C-alpha cells in the first residue's frame, strides 16, 4: 500500500494519531510488533477505549489506513512517527529497547528528505544522543539529509474534553528545518 506516513506503535498514542491522519485523506501505515494487535485492528476491533470500532471500520474502508507487522515502507513514505512504549526498568531507568528497535527499522528505511518524529516519552538528550546516531548508522545518511523532531504525546485517554485536536503540543526540531 502507498503510505505517506508510517507510525510505529499502534497503542493509545499511535492508533488515534493514525486514524486522525487517515481521516485527513493522507495514507498512513500503522506498524506494530504485536501480531495479535495487528489482526485485531485489521478485523475492525478497536484495542483501545478512545477509538470506537465503528469508526475504525469506517477508516479501514476508506482505504487511507492500513496496518502491518512488517516494517517495509513504500517509496511514497515521507514521515515516520515513533509511538512505542518507553517504560521504566525495575531500577527506575528508562527502558529504551522498543524505541531502539523501532528506530533501527526506521533507519533502515530512511531516505533523503524524510521527517522522523519521536512521540514517545523520553528524557532530555535522548533524541540527539540516542535516536540520531541509530538513524545515521542504519541509513548511511546524516542529519540534514533527513529531518528529526521530538514532539512528546500528551494524550489523556478517554478524556472527552481534551483530545488530539485541541491539546497544545510541544514540537522541537534537531534543526530549524526539522522543526518547520
Helical (H) or strand (E) element with 133: helix 132-139
- Minimal distance in Å, beta carbon 153 to ligand NAD? 4
Q: Which is nearer to ligand NAD, 142 or 172 (CB)?
A: 172
Residue number with the smallest Cβ distance to ligand NAD: 11
Q: Which three cell numbers stand for residue 54?
A: 465503528
Which is nearer to ligand NAD, 94 or 173 (by Cβ)?
Answer: 94
- Give the DSSP H or E segment for 166: none
Cβ-in-10-Å burial (0-12, 13-18, 19+) of 148 comes to buried
Least distance (Å) between residue 176 CB and ligand NAD: 25
CB 157 to ligand NAD: min, Å = 5
Write down the least CB distance from residue 177 to ligand NAD, Å. Answer: 25
| 27/47 with CB nearer ligand NAD | 47
Residue closer to ligand NAD by CB (options 27, 37) is: 37
User: What is the Cα gyration radius of the chain?
Assistant: 16
- Enumerate binding residues for ligand NAD (CB under 6 A): 8-14, 31-34, 37, 83-86, 98, 101-102, 120-121, 153-155, 157
Distance CA 120, CA 7 (A): 11
Q: Could you tell me if 60 and 45 are in contact, meaning their C-beta atoms sit under 8 angstroms apart?
A: no
Amino acid at each position: 500500500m502507498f503510505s505517506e506516513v508510517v507510525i510505529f506503535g499502534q497503542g493509545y498514542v499511535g492508533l488515534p494519531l493514525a486514524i486522525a491522519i487517515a481521516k485527513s485523506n493522507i495514507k498512513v501505515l500503522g506498524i506494530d510488533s504485536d501480531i495479535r494487535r495487528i489482526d485485531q485492528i485489521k478485523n475492525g476491533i478497536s484495542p483501545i477505549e478512545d477509538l470506537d470500532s465503528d469508526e475504525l471500520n469506517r477508516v479501514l474502508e476508506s482505504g487511507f489506513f492500513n496496518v502491518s507487522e512488517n516494517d517495509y515502507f513504500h517509496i511514497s513514505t515521507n514521515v515516520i512517527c515513533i509511538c512505542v512504549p518507553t517504560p521504566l526498568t525495575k531500577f527506575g531507568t528508562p527502558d529504551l529497547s522498543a524505541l531502539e528497535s523501532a528506530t533501527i527499522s526506521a533507519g533502515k528505511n530512511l531516505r533523503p528528505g524524510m521527517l522522523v518524529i519521536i512521540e514517545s516519552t523520553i528524557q532530555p538528550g535522548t533524541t540527539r544522543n540516542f535516536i540520531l546516531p541509530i538513524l545515521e548508522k542504519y541509513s548511511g545518511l546524516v542529519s540534514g539529509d533527513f529531518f528529526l523532531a521530538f514532539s512528546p504525546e500528551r494524550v489523556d485517554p478517554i478524556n472527552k474534553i481534551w483530545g488530539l485536536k485541541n491539546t497544545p503540543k510541544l514540537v522541537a526540531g534537531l534543526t530549524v528545518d526539522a522543526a518547520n
